[in-house]
Structure 1
Amino acid sequence: MTADILIQQAHTKDAPAIAVLVGELLAEIMNAIDTQAFNFNLQETTARLEAYLANGTYVVFVARPANGDPVGFVALCECHALYAEGAFGTIPELYVRPAYRTRRLGMRLVSEAKAYGTARGWKRLEVTTPPLPQFDRTLAFYVREGFSVAGGRKLRTLL
Structure 2
Amino acid sequence: MDHRKINFRPATVEDAENISLLVILLTIELSDLTKTKRIDINIEGTSNRCYEMIKAGQYFAILGFVDGALSAVATLSESYSLNGGGQVGMIQEFYVSPVVRSTGIGAKLMEEVKQYGHQKGWSCIDFSAPRISKLKENLGFYEGAGFDVLHAYRMRHKIQLNDSNEI
Give TM-score scaled by structure 1 length: 0.88
Residue 148 of structure 2 aligns with which residue? Answer: 148
Residues 1:136 and 1:153: Cα distance change in structure 2 (over 3 Å): closer
Work out the percentage of aligned pairs sharing the same amino acid.
27
Matched residues in 2 for 1:79 and 1:103: separation? 31
- The match for 1:75 is 75
CA RMSD of aligned residues (A): 1.7
* Larger strand percent: 2
Is 1:138 matched with 2:138?
yes
Aligned to 1:90: 90
What amino acid is the match of 1:43? Answer: E
Q: What is the aligned length?
A: 153
Whether contact under 8 Å (1:2, 1:104) holds in the other structure is no
Cα displacement (A) at 1:55: 1.1
Contact 2:11 2:61 in 1 (8 A): yes
* Long gaps (5+) in structure 1: 155-159
Flag as ranges the 4+ runs of structure 1 deviating above 3 A. Answer: 65-68
Q: Please list the CA deviations of residues 3-43 of structure 1 after superposition, one character each: whole Å capped at 9, or x if unmatched.
A: 52211001111111111111110000111122214221111
Deviations 1:26-69 (A, max 9, x none): 0001111222142211111010111111111111000124553x
Q: Which runs of 5+ in 2 are unaligned?
A: 155-167
Check conservation: 1:73, 1:94, Cα contact below 8 A.
yes
